[in-house]
Structure 1
Amino acid sequence: MFAPSFKLMTPPPSGTDRSRELGRPSDTRAAAVADRLDDANGPVDDLEYGVVTPPVLVIGAGAAGARVAIELAESGVDPLVIGKRDHGDAHTTWAAGGVNAALGSLDPDDDWTIHAADTLNEGHHLNDPEAVELTAKHMPDRIRELDEWGMGFDRTADGKINQRYFGAQSYRRTCFVGDRTGEAMLETLIDRAQELEIPYRENVMITRLLSDGDRVSGAVGFDMESGRGLLFRSNHVVLAAGGFSAVFDRHSSRDDENNGDAQALALEAGASLLDLEFVQFHPTGMVGERYGEEWDGRLVTEAVRGEGGRLYNTEGERFMERYSPDQMELDARDVVARAIAREIEDGRGTEHGGVYLDISHRDDDYVRERLPRMVERFASLGVDITEEPIEVAPTAHYTMGGVDVDFRTGETGVDGLYAVGETVAGVHGANRLGGNSLAETVAIGKLVGEHVADILESDDADPAVADDQRAIAEREFRALESLAGADGDVTPTALLADLRELLWTHAGILRDEETLREGLEKLDALRERTENLRVDGDRTSRSFEFAVDLSVSLTVAETMLRTALERTESRGAHSRTDHPEVDEEWRVNLVVSVDDGELSTRRRGVGEPSPAVQDALEEGYELDYHHLE
């Protein structure tokens, strides 16, 4: 990890190796990767670490990483996929409600250009139009592909893939598997990966990319179960490690993921970040004080509103009639989240700081069929959602900002480094259209896999480890050892909790200059406290893991606060109460890079959509919520 002069803080950087096929042992591809492992290849002093030399290293084992790897394997390439958690335990499984594709199963007038137009409108036209069009255009084929691979989509009476309304969509476009769509998608991708015998290593944390600022040549990290250092030498590295919504106090992720790993790694390696001020606060997270701390912020899927769920305040008002009489609860996520925040702020929220979401007016069997996981979850907490409302409040859910890439290739501008999925920025602009997160993973993931496969050369098959690469890795291993021995008075867990509270207070749903500047000042003070860090346990401990998480979270927190302060307008998920209007002069992206050890921000103009999508925009398609009534 690193600590450059612009104070993107990094703590003093501080077994059995497993190379396995994605999901089961293999005698072919996984064995080939295992053959590249030098079990104790540390010639300096007493350092011992594993060395693995795959032709392509995919960091992140969710839907985006899996789809890249599948495309590589189908092209005859043997990638290695690494994940920070147990196999199959990726954040993809938390995307419950559905995945978008203009199939026209129920609304034959829908097509990919209208999907693209809805995405651009929801993103307030800060999206990369090419990225949007690639996603919308390819998604019907990706859905049919998933269907062929066995994903059990819900069906209409005549056997078509069923589709539901999601917020701000002009037609019923969201394909689904009950309310467990992400889980079903990842299971399907893993099954396909197993068929292709794609090698996989689980419980591996990456702490540094091997980079000279112009080219990436691998990655360094450690096995989280043994604590042993690992050097991955590869000429092609794909970042697919998610976003950074967990840096907020109330969030829909687990505390140990979506901490900004990928963005911090890319920035340190020489890539640029884009649009970090745009964080989506999902309208309906669980209110922890009622349901318990472990459920605080957990997502109540948009499918509840997509199937007709209604929002009420404590005065019994269906308050979205006041904010969005035409689209009601199915307006854009930023609109609904701000409406709920206003109701709570104005004293019409519950004693637990939420509002009520009610779907009890729908037929009981219908609710159980369409929302089985929600019925089961709340039943375990003593609530029957077919009979009574649930309490919800906004929660940090998704980060539109991320690594700046070319979406046709996944290239980051640093040779050998690619990125995909929530790790990147561009498809979603200032606010993400519900159902597009899963869509982006498979649509763009396939394209990135195709590109990397096309440019591989014979030298990439088993790259040698150069002395300078080994030296970088060994410095990192020593830094990780130093971090593990930190013996101050403040724990990483305490500092992370303070950071999350800081960002919720100073960079939450409603922002202004004063609170953002105060947030930066408090961030500096928090960073100073890391000098007194204490790690309880060795490199296999949760305390050590959280110490590494703290480093990357501080990096993205500062970048987010600075870009939010610079953007003096309200657009999409970025709401400035001191600049409440959209300013057309701000129809630009904010690009952040490291120049001479300092954070540097510049503005970049946004491209224009193709004539076909422009025509769809001018048609002005829009959801009529009352079709659901």
Structure 2
Amino acid sequence: MLYDVIVVGSGISGLYAALYAKRAGLHVALICKSNPLRSNSAVASGGINAVLKTTADDTCDHHIQDTLEGADKLARPSAVSAMVKGAEEIIDELIAMGVAFDCRDNGEVAQRPFGGTSAKRTCYIADKTGSALTQTLFTQCRKEGVEIFPNYVMLGIATFNEKLSGITILRRKDSHVIAFACKSLVLAGGGFAGIYRGHSTNSQESSGDMLAIALRAKMRLANMEFVQFHPTTLLNSGALISEAARGEGAYIVDENGERFTDELQTRDKLSRDIVLHQLAGHTVYLDFRHLGEELINKKLPSARKHALNGAGIDILTELLPITPSAHYTMGGIWSRNDTSTDIDNLFVCGECAYSGVHGANRLGGNSLLEAAYFGRVAGIEAARAAKKGEFHPIDYALVDKESRYVEMILEGESRFNINTMRRNLGNNLYKNAGVFRNHDSLANALEYIHYLMKMSSGLCCVNKERSDNVELISIIEFRNSLTVAEAMVMSALAREESRGVHYRDDFPEKDEKNYQVDTIIRRLAGTFLRISFEGHLSSDWWHRIRQFFHTR
């Protein structure tokens, strides 16, 4: 199969990229691991940030400043500025596609406050914003002729003489490995918070596949240590209760009914306050009771449904027990402001990318904006590259290698239980690389990851059927999870300071002299990883020079 542009991932960023590549008149394929409407974007509830002409007492400069402060001095100012200034156009475009944002009585788009913001700038559709945006963009992609391939799992990046030639894919319906050729590629396959199995708002599919694939392709990953924990998730399941709840006025209280923290501070600080209160022997709750049934049913219907289904709690009359869970990953595949990467004609966007806008801590409402804005940029840039580019041969030795890898998992004798290993990894990471960490806990986490890596060679399918083999996909995801977990923990060990969501008990202060730079991790020979620290501009000058002469 030959395509001008291939996009991997069906969240908001991938859908936007596919849509804009298609609008350039190109042959575009969208690859989805499972159901296209089951991405993390679809469960993002709270809203999307934007300064609109109708926004009261707010400016783009305020939005930029809030984002930079929330990022704890690690954001890339040029990327933040571009995203913020493009936000209103994104909202207008979504409305034109049919997104029905909640509005005030005068017809203007309604906006609510979110943590770490100095104004009400979060546009929303009740508490199901991500789902509404995803469905609208998916419908638009189908309408405009993007070819969509659900239930195809990306395995690797194919290159020929160090030039992009395509991707290798596992077709789930028959477990057959195939190759798609392309002139340009967009990776938009989501983050890796799902590796905290049992302690995450993400599904197990958020296993960091794109990052593991990129690392194997010798691409750089950046700031992997920064994993954001959402402060308000159901105590027993990790199911998300959106920041929309606190934006609409829900309180965080303990068993005595006392409010002990600022509900609208940034997520890193709020999560630490909650965990410390729990360690002191308290139980922590969300209190909706004072909001009233009318407001809850109108603006927080999903929160009420999740509480009833997930905890048996009616938030109209009862307190809802909560705890922080791994939610979003700021680190990812290193990219420039134009979403380009270490491989020519390969672009990244969304949570799998390090775009530079979140730094050490993401503000709520900025992730959907980042996904839409940089997804659009990626689609435009990928189309531009494809028009100038050409197809390169697929090395079918790579396809054969991936086929043998899949055959080994399918045909081998299984010695361990995949679900037990996933849960054990999640428990270990939550304990040792969670809201609080230190050298000893991180070293313990790394030792356990290496142990699981050795054991994972004994993971094979008990079920040998080739049609839609869920076990096969789980094993592939788990091995990718271990690769990503190793990179994350090594990065956390290297950053000997506390910044944003990365809080080390043994280094509780920021070190501006040594660590106000990005953590970069590369794969060298074999499985050896190398950590370095780089400023935002240090790796970009040669690319700029090449671009200058290429466009002349």
TM-score where L is the length of structure 2? 0.93
Distance in 1, Cα, partners of 2:160 & 2:483: 19
Give 1:182 shift. 0.1
In the alignment, which residue of structure 2 is the partner of 1:611?
none
Distance in 1, Cα, partners of 2:216 & 2:534: 21
Give 1:606 shift. 4.2
Equivalent residue in structure 1 for 2:238, among 294, 297, 300: 297
Is structure 2 residue 25 aligned with structure 1 residue 76? yes
Q: How do residues 367-382 of structure 1 correspond to structure 2 at under 5 angstroms?
A: 367-380=296-309, 382=312
| Residue identity matched to 2:440 | E
What is the aligned residue count? 531
Equivalent residue in structure 1 for 2:155, among 194, 199, 207: 207
Change (3 A) 1:73 1:581: same
Give 1:214 shift. 3.6
Q: How do residues 142-541 of structure 1 correspond to structure 2 at under 5 angstroms?
A: 142-211=90-159, 214-249=162-197, 250-255=199-204, 257-288=205-236, 296-320=237-261, 328-349=262-283, 355-380=284-309, 382-408=312-338, 410-425=339-354, 426-457=356-387, 460=390, 463=391, 465-466=393-394, 469-538=395-464, 539=466, 540-541=468-469
Distance in 1, Cα, partners of 2:332 & 2:161: 18
Give 1:457 shift. 3.2
CA contact (8 A) 1:246 1:259 kept: yes
In the alignment, which residue of structure 2 is the partner of 1:13?
none
Is structure 2 residue 537 aligned with structure 1 residue 589? no
Distance in 2, Cα, partners of 1:115 & 1:169: 7
Is structure 2 residue 10 aligned with structure 1 residue 57? no
CA contact (8 A) 2:408 2:460 kept: no
Is structure 2 residue 476 aligned with structure 1 residue 548? yes
Q: How do residues 536-615 of structure 1 correspond to structure 2 at under 5 angstroms?
A: 536-538=462-464, 539=466, 540-585=468-513, 586-597=515-526, 598-606=528-536
Structure 2: where are the runs of 5+ without partners? 539-552
Secondary structure of the residue that 1:124 maps to in structure 2?
coil
| Residue identity matched to 2:432 | H
Give 1:105 shift. 3.2
Distance in 1, Cα, partners of 2:65 & 2:163: 36
Secondary structure of the residue that 2:286 maps to in structure 1?
strand
Give 1:225 shift. 2.2
Change (3 A) 1:516 1:213: farther
| Residue identity matched to 1:446 | R
CA contact (8 A) 2:154 2:168 kept: yes
CA contact (8 A) 2:54 2:108 kept: yes
| Aligned-residue RMSD, C-alpha | 1.6
Change (3 A) 1:530 1:376: closer
Distance in 2, Cα, partners of 1:482 & 1:216: 27
Give 1:270 shift. 2.1
Secondary structure of the residue that 2:291 maps to in structure 1?
coil
Secondary structure of the residue that 2:452 maps to in structure 1?
helix
Distance in 1, Cα, partners of 2:450 & 2:23: 48
Distance in 2, Cα, partners of 1:212 & 1:493: 37
CA contact (8 A) 2:453 2:479 kept: no
Secondary structure of the residue that 1:92 maps to in structure 2?
helix
Secondary structure of the residue that 1:386 maps to in structure 2?
coil
Secondary structure of the residue that 2:263 maps to in structure 1?
helix
Greater Cα radius of gyration, structure 1 or 2: 1
Distance in 2, Cα, partners of 1:96 & 1:516: 32
| Residue identity matched to 2:423 | A
CA contact (8 A) 2:494 2:531 kept: no
Give 1:332 shift. 0.2
Distance in 1, Cα, partners of 2:349 & 2:385: 17
Deviations 1:45-103 (A, max 9, x none): xxxxxxx1111110101110100011111111121001011232222111001000011
Distance in 1, Cα, partners of 2:494 & 2:333: 19
Distance in 1, Cα, partners of 2:314 & 2:149: 40
Deviations 1:93-147 (A, max 9, x none): 110010000115341x312221111111111010121221121111110001001
Give 1:413 shift. 1.4
Give 1:464 shift. 6.2
Give 1:212 shift. 5.8
Give 1:508 shift. 0.6
In the alignment, which residue of structure 1 is the partner of 2:550?
none
Distance in 2, Cα, partners of 1:216 & 1:604: 26
Distance in 1, Cα, partners of 2:518 & 2:388: 38
Distance in 2, Cα, partners of 1:560 & 1:574: 11
Deviations 1:162-220 (A, max 9, x none): 00000010100000000000000011111221220211000011111113684321111
Distance in 1, Cα, partners of 2:462 & 2:441: 34
Distance in 2, Cα, partners of 1:600 & 1:204: 31
| Residue identity matched to 1:157 | D
CA contact (8 A) 1:491 1:543 kept: no
Distance in 2, Cα, partners of 1:604 & 1:216: 26
Distance in 2, Cα, partners of 1:247 & 1:228: 26
| Residue identity matched to 1:310 | Y
CA contact (8 A) 1:216 1:269 kept: no
CA contact (8 A) 2:170 2:178 kept: yes
Structure 1: where are the runs of 5+ without partners? 1-51, 289-295, 321-327, 350-354, 609-629
Deviations 1:431-462 (A, max 9, x none): 000001100111111111111222223764xx
Distance in 2, Cα, partners of 1:513 & 1:453: 45
Change (3 A) 1:517 1:316: same
CA contact (8 A) 1:113 1:137 kept: no
CA contact (8 A) 1:165 1:173 kept: yes
